[in-house]
Amino acid sequence: MNPDTDSTAAGIDLGAMRRAIAASRQALADGNMPFGASLVAPSGALLWVAQNDQVTSGDCTGHAELVLVREVTRVLGAPALRGATVYASGEPCAMCSGAMFWAGVARIVFAASQADIIRTLGGATLPITCAQVLQGASPALRVDGPVLQDEAVEVLEGFARPRAA
């Protein structure tokens, strides 16, 4: 275990997750569901940040992770996704998990867990975790989380408050 490499990796994880959470705040401000995602290359370079656009696009598949995959593919090309890490402010659903697998993403890191999302937002759910969707995938995808869970849940609560009032 190399402390210099480990601290750099942790710093990349925290920085990229904070960008995803910031995108979730922006999605909420724009009237969308409060979810964001960022993409980091294997080199550690931040490549892209995207946010949920379900409401503003009228597309029920406008989850932050799918928006990210589509935008990156269109602008940077599909190879930019291969071997990269996606940071998601909320644990990816089954649809997004599958899309990231097919895009060649190597690692997924999430902040708020599926249980946090269900508890905070309620509504329709697919009760299967990202890790369960990807269990047995070949090639394997690494799933880590929660990371910065409280920060992400705070944004979800900001969405839930006006509905509860």
Each residue's pLDDT tens digit, 17-60: 999 999 999 999 999 999 999 999 999 999 999 999 999 999 99
Mean pLDDT, rounded, of the chain: 93
Give 28's DSSP letter.
H
Q: Which of 65, 71, 91, 151 is catalytic?
A: 65
What pLDDT sits at residue 3?
A: 42
Using the predicted structure, report yes or no on whether residue 64 has a pLDDT greater than 70. Answer: yes
What is the arithmetic mean of pLDDT over 126-153? 96
Q: At what angle do helices 149-164 and 114-121 cross, to 10 degrees?
A: 20
pTM of the model: 0.93
Residue 65 is a catalytic residue: yes
Confidence of residue 10 (pLDDT cuts 50, 70, 90): confident
Joined together, the tokens standing for residue 150 give: 């409280």
> Which sign does the torsion angle of CA 79, 96, 26, 83 carry?
negative
Q: In DSSP terms, which residues pair with 110 in a beta bridge? A: 88
